[in-house]
Structure 1
Amino acid sequence: MVLVPTAVLIASVALVIPLAIAAVVSATALGLLQVALVWLLGIRAWPPPLSLVGFTAPGTSRFLTVLLCLAAVICSLGFAQLYTMTAIALGWDFLMPPELPAGLLLPGGFVVVSALALAVWTPIAEEAFFRGFVLRGMANRWGFAPALVVSAAVFAALHLSPALLLPVFVTGLLLGFLYLRTGSLWPCIAVHAAQNLVAVLTAWLAL
């Protein structure tokens, strides 16, 4: 309830300032809000015991953790590609994922700031909120399967784009399973960061 109007408000910033600056500002602000909500609603202690939301070493072996991360990235990107191809084949333009807008990244060496905001900070904040807080809290009360589905649906809905609902929902399922399987946020952050980095590199190469 707090995140949706905040996301809309912050997104409107792009109407009055350059898109690249707006992207960094919105990613930073939303991330800070998500981390603040995790602390306020879930931790409420200082210094915060980060293990409560999953900032711990994976409970799986290093080999299995890497294998699960690779599988999650491949399945997520693969489904997104299949979804896009299906939307094109059916002529359902309204379900076509939006292309990355021109001017998304800061110019020159400042592109590093965009990469840090979009491919490092955003994955950390979103995984702490959606997996470490929402999914973990629901799983404790409802059990694994309902929590996985509902948390993935919330994750998709808060991306505020009908065309992204299904692919982001599937990504949420994969990240949720990864979190519950490894018991750690770090693999989820790595997968989330890898996907966002693909988008950042795509936008950068298009400059």
Structure 2
Amino acid sequence: MVEFVLFSLPTLIYLLVGRRDAAARPTMGLVASARQGWLLAVVLIVVSLGIGWVTTMAVPPEILHGPGTTGRITGVVAGLSVALRAVGEEVFFRGFVQGLVAKRWGPVAGVVVQGVAFLIPHLPLIAISTALVPLVAGQFVIGLLLGWLRHRARSIAPGAVAHAVVNVVVALGVLA
């Protein structure tokens, strides 16, 4: 829950400062998505789970389930926490970062910059073990795909749902 709030703060501040700017909410992706965005989100869930499965299989089990890695979720509160973190990441990376970069330098720059920014907090996994590089690479690709979805849908909502579903499925241990 704390992570959701922290990830959402820059967007909230941006909206409060630019509350009279009609483009503030669309810039942050805080608008309803067309049906196409939701259909693409379903496709992205399947693709992301596939990427997750392939990258998980590339990591030795003793590393994947070893010290420093997160365990499986076992309760509703833990599942909600995982889902809210994913939504917070969408608000920050695809809403705030991608929205502002795309507004200034165009959609391709927005997708790429947010993808790199999304990668940064996942890099410490490599400090646990270099065997986790496939997971980090997979997260980078999924971050780019979520950015592409945000651009196509013009909303963070489909990506937030897709990201939350994928994170909860992974955290339940379905792929491992």
Give the TM-score band, short-chain normalised.
0.7 to 0.9
Letter in 1 for 2:137: L
Question: How many residues were matched structurally?
Answer: 160
Q: Deviations over 1:142-170 (max 9, x none)?
A: 22222212211110111232333211111
Quote how far apart the aligned CAs of 1:69 are.
1.1
Change (3 A) 1:81 1:54: same
Partner of 1:117: 81
Does the 8 A contact of 1:43 with 1:52 survive in 2?
no
Pairing 1:194–2:156 present? no
Quote how far apart the aligned CAs of 1:199 are.
2.2
Partner of 1:134: 97
Change (3 A) 1:185 1:115: same
Partner of 2:120: 157
Say which structure, 1 or 2, has more relative contact order (CA 8 Å, 6+ apart). 2
Letter in 1 for 2:10: L
SS at match of 1:44: helix
- Within 1, Cα distance between the matches of 2:78 and 2:47? 26
Structure 2 unaligned regions, length at least 5 = 127-131
Percent of paired sites with the same residue: 31
Partner of 2:129: none
Quote how far apart the aligned CAs of 1:98 are.
3.0
Q: Which has the larger radius of gyration?
A: 1
- Of 13, 19, 31, 1:56 maps to 31
Partner of 1:32: 5
Letter in 1 for 2:80: L
Quote how far apart the aligned CAs of 1:112 are.
1.3
Quote how far apart the aligned CAs of 1:81 are.
2.5
- Within 1, Cα distance between the matches of 2:140 and 2:113? 10
Change (3 A) 1:188 1:165: same
Question: After the TM superposition, which residues 1-207 of structure 1 pair with which residues of structure 2 at under 5 Å, given as runs?
Answer: 28-40=1-13, 42-45=14-17, 50-58=25-33, 60=34, 62=35, 64-85=36-57, 87=58, 98-99=64-65, 101-102=70-71, 105=73, 111-119=75-83, 121-159=84-122, 160-162=124-126, 163=132, 164-202=135-173
Structure 1 unaligned regions, length at least 5 = 1-27
Q: Deviations over 1:90-109 (max 9, x none)?
A: xxx6xx9734644x546xxx
TM-score (norm 2): 0.77
